[in-house]
Structure 1
């Protein structure tokens, strides 16, 4: 995994940056494509149900997706802390992530017995997410060293844009494959898994092509072993007010997602949404996630990450607010008498705004969860900062089942009110986040365009 060098001459900084931008964006987009093709709720859960697996096993897939991805990041941060080179630490786990999916494709393609697939799916998916979570920390640190600071926000935004575009196309293909019970054969799933393996393998290749600049050590930096220095940096990170405020904000935003799995259930049980409304909601969410990516990049680039984080919390608050307000508002005689009769009902068309907001929130979080820590963390403690915060959020991400408890005991009204209160608390907390840039930035986008086009 050594970087190839042109014989007889060294690359210019501009050419190296252009190559890093291209391969870095390709890496991010292909990772999203591969991940979407094995989506825990769109692909794996329907397959488990078709194979006769339990609902518990099907519901376990989203938990594995979040928890197993975040938990190894503290270990990764400890391992790579202050290492001069990072390509191998990001590359080999990335390859393991791809190879974990290959057996699924081959076993499904040859039509193996149901019980074989039912134990192989959670095993392979657990390995996949553990490897992906470990690779994330060194990959982000490698990209941070390789991409200049004044084009970094737009670079990560473009990774999100192209990733969202491929996710939208992949989502349409997967939804079409699994929507027809007769057409969703094991061979079809095997093809989907092999396509995911190919995308993840190509992503590993693109990541290996990004340059691996060495860490520039200051004379005051200690020469302790990486794990020892990471442990030594933990108290430093925990004492930083910026870390504590960001972690508090991110915890509240994560808790505000308690109602996310139940917006569709509310539409079906209370609003009478037909089965095909699920497809409409997914397409709206994917489209808005794609369309909002450049907008978030522009906001971060021009006004900074704190404003973007505040807007994300506001959009989070609007989701349960719409769910609470739309039914009584649209049933009000003054408004109801003026609404046209349509199929689907007008209330469902308005209700679909929730999924548009959801797509925008996911896109904004995907960008700011990367770029904001890169701005406020000290370079020498950055891996510990990112790894520790993500590992803490991994524990918080195991709380969404509490939403089901609230729903079972108190109903949709209390669930949405609790979610709204948590989102508003996140809005208030976002006001205490440190602001790194106080003046609009207008030069980064033009520089990245020059780098990308020359």
Structure 2
């Protein structure tokens, strides 16, 4: 009898957890949709290149996307584990994030390409606000995902996000291809993408508001001040010191990231509608690669995943440099395999490899840090790592300067050499598999304490 009486209570208690799981899946899918519609390395880099001849400004796009989102940590907002009211912070930041992109879309229609200077100024202001708001929104929403979705449902939520992320990548790619199909007035057409992203991000904020957050006591708030003051002590950890050097080289290898699509469009004559194919290839490659990386990490450790990801990233500039002469090779050209769009389609491989590499980095970076850092000091280690990477994130600006002075081939060669240095430094990483594995929820708890810049 007692068991029967307890069943309805258990069902009522589980209902918020089930609802939160559903909201978590919807929130993640909408967020992927919104972010992919305005992907910084492909969509926005091309957008800026269409209204400006400055490669420096093109390089500023991914720099803002990665570097600005870490600023909330400086204000003490990046670490609020267990803090009450996190949902409200995430929702309001999500609203501001959506509003910034909506304003950008409206400005695109109002200004058109007749006032490029005003359009560029509006773009960079609104995009900076967008990324700053993302920094404030991400941490509390990850906190809610970790603490208010039951452990047995968390893996389902993450798995569903992976599936829907790949689906959204295909949807976005098709949408971009259709919108840019005629190739006329591309800047104004991209304003439609901004408005679509506004709708997706607005819905994501609405879904976030629907999440049920049980009452909690105030948690502590940690800024970057303490971790930075402890930097000499943290750097005494040889494991971390080697990992920091590897991460710095790996992030520096992004020096040419926003210029691959510009090279394809300006130098190879890739039709602008195929940009949608590149977005889909990157997104699907990134999410589908989880099916490979996760078992590999479980069997062989995160060190190998990081090494393989670095190796793939190193090959990206090589592919960019090798594909055009390879497809123009007489053996291929004489067989009639080299028509006007063959090279454009072959260039898709660049973004598939890029997405697979990003997937491995995203999976193993934080997991490796959790394995090598002492448990009590993990937030400090993560904050110091993020502070260093936030500075390194502006390396595409240097890439823009190199491109303006020396050209595409020189820039891609530099990117390859930096990627090669990252591969070499990965050989110095320790394999921490002998350490006690960290539970999944503990990994998410660290993310709430120090959210790495997006991206």
Structures share fold, TM-score greater than 0.5: yes
CA distance in 1, matches of 2:272, 2:104: 29
Question: Counterpart in 1 of 2:203?
Answer: 202
Of 246-255 and 150-159, more deviation after overlay is shown by 150-159
Q: Compute the displacement of 1:316 (Å).
A: 0.9
Question: Counterpart in 2 of 1:447?
Answer: none
Match of 2:418 among 416, 422, 435: 422
Question: Counterpart in 2 of 1:284?
Answer: 281
Q: Compute the displacement of 1:83 (Å).
A: 4.3
Residues 64 and 126, structure 1, Cα contact 8 Å, conserved in 2: yes
TM-score by length of 2: 0.73
Residues 48 and 58, structure 1, Cα contact 8 Å, conserved in 2: yes
Q: Does 1:398 align with 2:394?
A: yes
Give matches, 1:207-222, under 5 Å. 207-208=208-209, 209=211, 211=213
Q: Compute the displacement of 1:140 (Å).
A: 3.2
Question: Counterpart in 1 of 2:3?
Answer: none
Give matches, 1:15-414, under 5 Å. 18-40=18-40, 55=54, 60-76=60-76, 80=80, 83=83, 86-105=86-105, 119-146=121-148, 156=158, 158-180=160-182, 182=184, 192-208=193-209, 209=211, 211=213, 226-227=221-222, 231=226, 235=230, 237-264=234-261, 278=275, 280-325=277-322, 336=332, 340-344=336-340, 350-374=346-370, 376-377=372-373, 380-407=376-403, 412=408, 414=410
RMSD: 4.5
Residues 242 and 433, structure 1, Cα contact 8 Å, conserved in 2: yes
Deviations 1:219-243 (A, max 9, x none): xxxxxx6347962685165554444
For structure 2, the 5+ residue unaligned runs are 1-7, 441-455
With over 3 angstroms needed to count, the CA separation of the structure-2 counterparts of 1:17 and 1:432, relative to structure 1, is farther
TM-score by length of 1: 0.73
CA distance in 2, matches of 1:119, 1:417: 32
Residues 314 and 427, structure 1, Cα contact 8 Å, conserved in 2: yes
Deviations 1:133-161 (A, max 9, x none): 23333433443444677886775464344
Of 261-270 and 125-134, more deviation after overlay is shown by 261-270
With over 3 angstroms needed to count, the CA separation of the structure-2 counterparts of 1:125 and 1:323, relative to structure 1, is closer
Deviations 1:270-316 (A, max 9, x none): 76756666555444334423432433344345544333212111111
